């Protein structure tokens, strides 16, 4: 035990002193070797306000890039263009059952898989983004953000975020209003907890922060609907947007409690008589993250609703926003569903932490759905245990163990295990 503690102390000290030699320059706004440091490229000094906007506007999800390392400004320091991202490579080994995907998704564990071991290596999550921030008399403080990775078909560039934000409004494509990105725990697995709510949508959102410690959001979003349609039904062009709303209470050091909801109208077509029908979906959610002292941070989320499978990690792979209604041959239905997770992070030292997460996603049966879909997914479970080391302000290394279970309505069960190693360099 003494040797283990000595090793951990050595790692912490090494990480804390990595790159301690700082080149002196009058263009340096923040210490070059400090986390999330910014190097200014400008003809004149950039103002503190423009740098503050750049820092405070970073997206909160665990897999989002850091504040950009390099920033270009205009002569007056009123506008700044940040160029940032990271290169991230992950090596994975599946053993004792597999998930046939670079992301660990319990709903994709094969029902009768003959392969029990596999190795995968992936660098498609490498990220690059441009962020323009500034201040004008018309817009006040504004943000224009474009970001993507290489997870498109054939590892082509894929859009992750593209939006503008000003005076409380957000317009464009980014995280949906029915999710809490900052409540997600740290995982090497890019998908994250199977019961977590995660999605992006093209939207118009308004955020109000005028009340101390409180934040309120309302959004109108482009819907995405899928389903088990068979031959008789087709998912139609949607007639109505999704509507979301949330209230969040903030306290202490990055702690908050958030309550949110969504309501949606899902349209499908009966191909027998060429008529359109609408089914109402809804969801409610509670999420939080908070610190217990300086070393421990908790994460948690609970989601319940009908017709919101697209927004829950595991269920989004199953096309079950709408399914057949066995009791009514000419109708579809929205099934009840649930997702939740709880996680804990322990900071051994400023540069080293461990974390663990448990999560579950579940699909409930109505109107004899289970009787006609016995081999279909009923629920999945997800366990993650990992360690992360910041070897330098820009370099992070990690290792992770994942275990998942899938159980079907006919009570058959399948499981999978994965060990992952990660190296990430941010710029």
pLDDT in tens, 327-352: 988 899 999 999 999 999 999 999 99
Contact 107, 317 (CB under 8 A): yes
Contact 28, 39 (CB under 8 A): yes
pLDDT digits (tens, 9 = 90+) for 380-424: 999 999 999 999 999 999 999 999 999 999 999 999 999 999 999
Report the domain count for the chain: 1
pLDDT for 41 equals 55
**Cα separation values, 79 from 52, 96, 142, 143, 161, Å:** 12, 54, 10, 10, 20
- Rounded to whole angstroms, how far apart are CA atoms 83 and 147? 10
Which contiguous run of DSSP H or E holds residue 371?
helix 369-372
pLDDT for 44 equals 52
Task: Reply yes or no on whether the pLDDT at 213 is more than 50.
Answer: yes
- Rounded to whole angstroms, how far apart are CA atoms 53 and 29? 14
pLDDT digits (tens, 9 = 90+) for 219-252: 999 999 999 888 889 998 999 999 999 999 999 9
- Rounded to whole angstroms, how far apart are CA atoms 261 and 176? 11
Half-sphere exposure of 322 (CA within 13 A, CB side): 24
Half-sphere exposure of 9 (CA within 13 A, CB side): 6
**Cα separation values, 40 from 31, 144, 233, Å:** 11, 19, 57
Residue range 111-121: mean pLDDT, rounded: 84
Strand 352-363 to strand 336-349: parallel, antiparallel, or no bridges (unpaired)? antiparallel
Confidence band of 89 (pLDDT split at 50, 70, 90): very high
User: Which of 292, 299, 290 has the alpha carbon at shortest distance from 250?
Assistant: 290
- Rounded to whole angstroms, how far apart are CA atoms 167 and 179? 22
Give the total residue count for the chain.
427
Rg (CA), the chain: 23
Q: Tokens 């504004």 identify what position?
A: 142
- Rounded to whole angstroms, how far apart are CA atoms 14 and 85? 25
Confidence band of 113 (pLDDT split at 50, 70, 90): low
- Rounded to whole angstroms, how far apart are CA atoms 119 and 102? 10
Instruction: Write down the pTM of the prediction.
Output: 0.88
pLDDT for 4 equals 46
Half-sphere exposure of 41 (CA within 13 A, CB side): 8
User: Could you tell me where the beta strands, DSSP code E, fall in 63-157?
Assistant: 70-73, 79-95, 118-122, 127-136, 140-149
Which contiguous run of DSSP H or E holds residue 49?
helix 48-56
The DSSP symbol for 152 reads S
pLDDT digits (tens, 9 = 90+) for 31-73: 445 444 555 555 455 556 777 788 788 888 999 998 888 888 8
User: Which of 136, 195, 108, 111 has the alpha carbon at shortest distance from 381?
Assistant: 195
pLDDT for 21 equals 34
Task: Reply yes or no on whether the pLDDT at 23 is more than 80.
Answer: no
The CATH number for 122's domain is 2.40.160.10
pLDDT digits (tens, 9 = 90+) for 152-189: 999 999 999 999 999 999 999 999 999 999 999 999 99
The residue segments making up the domain with residue 373 are 2-426
Token digits for 12?
């912490």
pLDDT digits (tens, 9 = 90+) for 351-379: 999 999 999 999 999 999 998 889 999 99
- Rounded to whole angstroms, how far apart are CA atoms 335 and 277? 16
170: three-class secondary structure by DSSP? strand
Residue range 94-102: mean pLDDT, rounded: 92
């Amino acid at each position: 035990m003494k040797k283990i503690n000595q090793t951990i102390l050595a790692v912490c000290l090494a990480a804390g002193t990595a790159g301690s030699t700082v080149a002196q320059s009058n263009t340096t706004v923040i210490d070059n070797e400090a986390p999330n440091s910014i190097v200014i490229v400008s003809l004149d000094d950039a103002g503190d306000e423009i740098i503050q906007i750049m820092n405070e506007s970073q997206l909160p999800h665990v897999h989002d890039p850091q504040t950009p390392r390099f920033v270009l400004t205009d002569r007056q320091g009123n506008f700044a263009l940040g160029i940032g991202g990271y290169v991230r490579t992950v090596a994975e080994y599946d053993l004792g059952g597999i998930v046939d995907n670079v992301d660990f998704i319990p709903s994709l564990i094969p029902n009768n898989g003959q392969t029990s071991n596999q190795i995968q290596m992936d660098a498609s999550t490498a990220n690059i983004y441009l962020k323009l921030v500034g201040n004008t008399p018309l817009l006040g403080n504004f943000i224009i953000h474009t970001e993507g990775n290489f997870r498109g078909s054939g590892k082509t560039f894929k859009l992750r975020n593209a939006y503008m934000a000003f005076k409380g409004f957000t317009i464009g494509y980014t995280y949906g209003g029915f999710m809490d990105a900052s409540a997600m725990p740290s995982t090497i697995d890019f998908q994250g907890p199977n019961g977590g709510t995660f999605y992006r949508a093209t939207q118009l959102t308004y955020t109000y922060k005028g009340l101390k410690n409180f934040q309120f959001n309302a959004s109108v979003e482009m819907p995405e609907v899928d389903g088990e349609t068979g031959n008789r039904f087709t998912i139609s062009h949607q007639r109505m947007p999704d509507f979301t709303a949330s209230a969040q209470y903030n306290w202490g050091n990055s702690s908050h409690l958030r309550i949110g909801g969504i309501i949606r109208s899902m349209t499908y077509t009966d191909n027998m008589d060429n008529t359109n029908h609408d089914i109402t979906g809804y969801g409610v959610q509670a999420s939080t993250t908070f610190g217990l002292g300086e070393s421990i941070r908790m994460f948690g989320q609970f989601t319940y609703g009908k017709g919101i499978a697209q927004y829950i990690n595991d269920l989004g792979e199953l096309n079950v926003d709408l399914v057949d209604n066995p009791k009514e041959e000419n109708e579809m239905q929205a099934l009840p569903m649930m997702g939740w997770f709880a996680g804990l992070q322990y900071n051994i030292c400023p540069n080293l932490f461990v974390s663990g997460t448990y999560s579950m996603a579940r699909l409930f049966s109505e109107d004899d759905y289970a009787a006609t879909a016995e081999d279909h997914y009923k629920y999945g479970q997800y366990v993650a245990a990992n360690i992360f080391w910041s070897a330098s302000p820009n370099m992070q290394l990690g290792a992770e163990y994942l275990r998942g279970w899938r159980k079907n309505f006919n009570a058959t069960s399948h499981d999978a295990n994965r060990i992952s190693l990660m190296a990430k360099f941010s710029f």
